[in-house]
A and B are shown apart, each in its own frame.
Chain A
């Protein structure tokens, strides 16, 4: 028979194990895509003089969480979108594997540049534990 003290100790051990796992286990997300899409009708709207801001000037990605830049062209015309020319109905999927600051030529922006900042995922320990708890809050 277990005493209340023994139960408490057992629970504490399990709790410490759980927290330790949450603080140290690698972080990976189910869907790591950061998706930006040129909507249908964009070419017509641009021809009509509309100033469309589809792609942010700076995109921040986090390794292990959202480290795949996905650019989709839903329009019927080719578009120079971010770092490359994308044909109608085509997507461009660019993975990042290291923390880095990337500048691409991008005619969609006034200064002709698209910046992609790739940051490391939450470090083991308190930052990772805090990130997981925040994820838990977001899902609640």
Chain B
């Protein structure tokens, strides 16, 4: 049994503290409710580093002259995870960074990398023919495949993926502002995710492993 001395000041003090304690407890309850998370949500938001499409649909296929001398199609790589990106060999910063990152990721995958194909579709067919793309891509990874073709055919492919490419400047040193994201296509040819520019090789390895094991 608790015996309180008849001290009004102490009782007031205790009452104030009690009110504050109740407020703190309520705050703690609210905060702990913030921290509770549904497993499904955690799975959805944290399984992949890239942005995911739900539900996934078949990636639009195409047939373009490849840097390896064959036509490049997605169907050709069915059974592999395809990393599809758009760019041009004269690109000063974004494309070299992307290709370097993908090369690093591909190397990090080791044996599993055999089940991964990088396809680089040019947005600059005037300067990127099959031979120049082969030379360009070999500097990053000799397994990477480039795709070029007629401007109208390439524009159609870009349209299917929502990719933009806008010429900037005139003269021989023009640049092209283009979508810099990388599309992740699973073994069945479904467009599963899109990785925005700026992610490191580790993020690609993480996501590709998920698709390889799916």
Residues of B within 8 A of A112 (CB): 164
Kindly identify which residue among A25, A31, A91, A132 contacts B41, using a CB–CB cutoff of 8 Å.
A31
When each residue 21-51 of chain B gets 1 if its CB lies under 8 Å from chain A and 0 otherwise, what string results? 1011111101101111110010011101111
Which residues 83-134 of A sit at the B interface, judged by CB distance below 8 A? 83-87, 89-95, 97, 100, 102, 104-105, 107, 112, 132-133
When the two chains form their complex, are residues A11 and B162 in contact, meaning their CB atoms are under 8 A apart?
Answer: no
Which residues 160-201 of B sit at the A interface, judged by CB distance below 8 A? 160-162, 164, 177, 179, 181, 194, 196, 198
B152 at the interface (CB under 8 A from A): no
Q: Taking A3-B5, A91-B54, A95-B51 as contacts, is the C-beta distance between A28 and B24 under 8 angstroms?
A: no
Per the CB 8 Å criterion, the residue count for chain B at the interface is: 51
When the two chains form their complex, are residues A30 and B33 in contact, meaning their CB atoms are under 8 A apart?
Answer: yes
Q: Is the interface of A mostly helix, strand, loop or mixed?
A: mixed
Residues of A within 8 A of B177 (CB): 105
In the complex, residue of chain A having the shortest beta-carbon distance to the beta carbon of B17: A11
Q: Taking A5-B10, A92-B194 as contacts, is the C-beta distance between A11 and B18 under 8 angstroms?
A: yes
Number of residue pairs A-B, CB distance < 8 angstroms:
128
In the complex, residue of chain B having the shortest beta-carbon distance to the beta carbon of A131: B31
B211 at the interface (CB under 8 A from A): no
Sort chain A's interface into a size bin: 35 or more
Which residues 13-50 of A sit at the B interface, judged by CB distance below 8 A? 14-15, 18-19, 21-22, 25-32
Q: A8-B13, A8-B17, A92-B52 are in contact. List 8 more A-B contacts (CB 8 A).
A: A4-B10, A21-B31, A22-B31, A32-B41, A86-B53, A94-B51, A136-B23, A136-B26
Interface set of B (CB-CB < 8 Å, partner A):
1-5, 7, 10-11, 13-14, 17-18, 20-21, 23-28, 30-31, 33-38, 41, 44-46, 48-55, 57, 160-162, 164, 177, 179, 181, 194, 196, 198
